[in-house]
Amino acid sequence: MDYLRIGIESLFGFGALFVLTKVLGKSQITQITAFDFIAALVLGELVGNALYDKEVGIGQIAFAVFLWGLLIFVTETFTEKFKGSRKLLEGSPSIVINQGQIDYEQLKSSKLDINQLQHLLRSKDVFSIKDVQFAVLETDGTISVMKKSASVTPTRGDMNLPLPPVALPRVLISDGEVLWDNLNELGYDKNWLIAELHTQNYDDIEDVFIGEYTPGEQLFVMGYGRAE
């Protein structure tokens, strides 16, 4: 009987959550804000715990799902009618790269480090920070990128120019620290790196927020508060 009860409650819970998702709209799936994340966790816990509690039946599951769904619906309606509440309940986008320069305060407030930023950029097919004009961290944790004009149009293919070999940019300095593995793989040493920094008026590695090198190009350096 326990297996039968769990099976029936599982099917009912699945159906209830499926209907609730349809009623609330696709935003619950495609735009996971902090509030949506909490809602998903609570709904999952409500149904999951109820399955293995013999004293909880379909009626209690239905009531819990309905009540929480009503709270979500009321909150969504509230944010639609009162724009001032959206920032508190849904959050707001953050410009983490502005006019080609990293906004360190926005990174800090978004609890985002340079490695995570690079990961998000690569998910948008951007492998070098120097190609980015603007980058916006959305409320669902994804990033929207606007490349610099020189990195977008015209392409070499558009102009029928020969295509040179493509080299992967490597980060040599991250947040004031040298990534020795990357430096050694490129066949360079600390003396070469320091000499490159001196040509761009950087005297100390600790002054560099990120140093990125693409074979065949000049070392791209961005310090704390300025870019070269």
Q: Is the pLDDT of residue 195 over 90?
A: yes
Q: Which two tokens stand for residue 79?
A: 């944010």
Angle of helix 2-24 relative to helix 58-81, nearest 10 degrees, comes to: 10
> What pLDDT score does 149 carry?
72
Lowest mean pLDDT among 4-18, 157-171, 195-209: 4-18
Asked which of 67-71, 104-108, 178-182, 205-209 is least confident by mean pLDDT, the reply is 67-71
Residue with tokens 């293919």: 157
CA dihedral for 64, 65, 67, 68, sign (positive or negative): positive
Residue 132 to residue 116: CA distance in whole angstroms: 16
* Most confident option among 31-40, 103-112, 207-216: 207-216
pLDDT tens-place string over residues 121-133: 999 989 889 899 9
Q: How far is CA 55 from the centre of its chain?
A: 42
Confidence of residue 188 (pLDDT cuts 50, 70, 90): very high
Alpha carbons 190 and 62: distance in angstroms, whole number: 65
pLDDT, greater one: 27 or 90? 90
**Max avg pLDDT among 6-10, 156-160, 198-202:** 198-202
Percent over 70 (pLDDT), the chain: 65
pTM of the model as a whole: 0.56
Per the CB < 8 A criterion, the answer to whether 61 and 53 are in contact is: no
pLDDT at position 28: 43
- Joined tokens for residue 135: 């980058």
The arithmetic mean of pLDDT across residues 68-80, rounded, is 75
**The one-letter amino acid at 42:** V
Q: Which of the residue ranges 11-20, 150-159, 191-200 has the most confident prediction, judged by mean pLDDT? A: 191-200
The per-residue pLDDT of the chain, averaged, comes to: 77
Q: Band of the pLDDT at 26, cuts 50, 70, 90?
A: very low
2-24 vs 34-51: helix crossing angle, rounded to 10: 160
The pLDDT value given to residue 83: 65
pLDDT band at residue 191 under the 50/70/90 scheme: very high
Phi, psi of 138 (to 5 degrees): -80, 170
What integer pLDDT is reported at residue 134 of this predicted model? Answer: 92
